[in-house]
Amino acid sequence: MAFAKVERESSSFKSFPRGLKDGTIRVRILPGIHSAAEDGSWAKKWNTHTYAVPRDGDPEKKDYYTFQCCEIVEWVNREKVVLETCPECVLIADRKDEFAKLKTKLNEELKSDQRTKDEVRKLLRPHIDWFKRHSRSFWWAVNVMDVDGKFFTMKLPNDAKKIIDAKKKKLKDEEGIGAILPIEQGVWFDITKIPGDQTGTGFPKYEVEIVMERQADGSKKEKLAPLAPEAADEAERSCYDINDPGVITLSREQVKQLAASGDAPQVLAGIFNQSTKTKPTAKPVPAKVEVVVEPEPIVPVVQAPPAVEAPPVTVEEVAQEVAATVESEDDRIEREAMAAIASAQARRAAAKKAALEVAVTPAPAVTAPTPVTPKVVKPEVKKVEVVPNQDESIESFIATYELSED
């Protein structure tokens, strides 16, 4: 197989794209995968903000939320024209102005011995901490392979991307070698980040070199980094789609709420929780089941307890409860119906102790000049009246209960 698009629902199992650390990293840039395979692009530019939010109960640890800047710009004659501002960008610009004024003031006080260095550091610390919690960055999402054969998505700074573009073009024009494609070629790049405290400017500097190897004749040649077609599977599992590298998309109104929140944890949590992708919904909790025992209107409604409040109720327990309720309603009817119920004992046992209530209309009294032994009422005589649907009350309820549990 070759590097190509792979459909997937989410790439949330991957860690967020890595930024460059101080020092040098050697990588082989991958061609477009996932949706980027359609146009062959190997890098996608992103303008993002990142919030560092202290965790509940453990403020020393932080959760980082990176969302897309909502500033809309247009370039006219190489000049940037802002069509719509981003509330977070405006907030950062305002805080930078305040910070600059504060530094100027404290510098003067430090020179005039009005404040000590420790006092100045203490006053500047809250501002520095704020900027660490609110960062803005321009970067390129790039999928790479390191020398250990591991695949990951990297945050490539814009300055480093420009150098790579220039070296790619020169390599193709002069040597006819593709730095990224075809996969049978490709080269290794050494990308170096020099920290700001070593550049003299306070800002980091980036250097990029194509790795060379010495040939048998003593000359040097670009070290090729061919990709095996089967490596595409591992790359697709380990790397983001550069067009969707895990960056959160917020509405302009949500960004406005963030900027005005004062970093209130409840506000931040509410906004970022809304921004996460929808998780699978939990299994619905069954609604309470109302069971009315017919036909007696005086029989109360028996409600099965919700599954979340108590252990599941067995069919036998519910049937016993319903039967006990019916029996307690009219002991007199039960006593008069004992003879008729005798023939239904087998059915009650098969229904696992479910009781069948049969209301029997008393037989007309026999008038005679002398006492006579009452006749035994046979089960099939018409003088025994079974209340309509009473035979089905327990069985129907059990069937309904079982269906509702499913």
One DSSP character per residue, 285-308 reads PPPPEEEE-SS-TTSPEEEEPPTT
Could you tell me the CA-to-CA distances from 48 to 215, 245, 249, 283 in Å, in that order? 44, 11, 10, 36
What share of residues in the chain are helix, strand, coil (percent, to 5)? 35, 25, 40
Amino acid 8: pLDDT: 36
* Tokens found for residue 11: 């790439």
Q: How many CA atoms does the CB half-sphere of 37 hold within 13 Å?
A: 14
- In whole angstroms, what is the distance from residue 48 CA to residue 250 CA? 11
Strands 212-214 and 58-68: unpaired
Amino acid 203: pLDDT: 86
Domains of the chain, CATH where assigned = 18-275 (3.90.198), 289-405 (no CATH)
Of 38-47, 74-83, 378-387, least confident by mean pLDDT is 378-387
Amino acid 220: pLDDT: 92
- In whole angstroms, what is the distance from residue 166 CA to residue 35 CA? 25
| Axis-axis angle for helices 315-329, 393-405 (nearest 10) | 140
* Tokens found for residue 142: 């790039």
Which of residues 44 and 61 earns the better pLDDT score?
Answer: 44
Rounded mean pLDDT, 10-24? 70
Of 62-76, 228-242, 323-337, least confident by mean pLDDT is 323-337
265-285: burial string, b at 16+ Cβ within 10 Å, e else: eeebeebbeeeeeeeeeeeee
Maximum C-alpha span of the chain: 141
Whether the predicted model's global pTM rises above the 0.85 cut: no
CA-only gyration radius of the chain, Å:
40
Give residue 176's region: left, alpha or beta (phi > 0; psi -120 to 50): left
Residue (of 220, 194, 137, 262) closest to 21 by Cα position: 194
Amino acid 349: pLDDT: 58
Segment of 42-56, 153-167, 342-356, 371-385 carrying the highest mean pLDDT? 153-167
Residue 27: burial class (beta carbons within 10 Å; 0-12, 13-18, 19+): buried
- In whole angstroms, what is the distance from residue 353 CA to residue 340 CA? 18
- In whole angstroms, what is the distance from residue 340 CA to residue 378 CA? 8
**Site of tokens 């009350």:** 393
DSSP code for 245: S
Amino acid 378: pLDDT: 45
Secondary structure class of 156 (helix, strand, coil): strand
- Other beta carbons within 10 angstroms of residue 254's beta carbon come to 19
pLDDT score of 246 more than 80: yes
| Axis-axis angle for helices 265-275, 252-260 (nearest 10) | 160
- Which amino acid, one-letter code, is at 315? V
Rounded mean pLDDT, 301-312? 45
Going by pLDDT thresholds of 50, 70 and 90, the confidence category of residue 370 is: low
Which of residues 6 and 242 earns the better pLDDT score?
Answer: 242
Amino acid 188: pLDDT: 97
Contacts of 215 (CB under 8 A, 6+ apart): 221
Q: What is the pLDDT of residues 139-178, one digit of tens each?
A: 999 999 999 999 999 999 999 999 999 999 999 999 999 9
- Which amino acid, one-letter code, is at 154? M
* Tokens found for residue 212: 């060379």
- In whole angstroms, what is the distance from residue 123 CA to residue 131 CA? 14
Secondary structure class of 115 (helix, strand, coil): coil
pLDDT score of 381 more than 50: no
Contact in structure between 117 and 153 (CB atoms under 8 Å): no
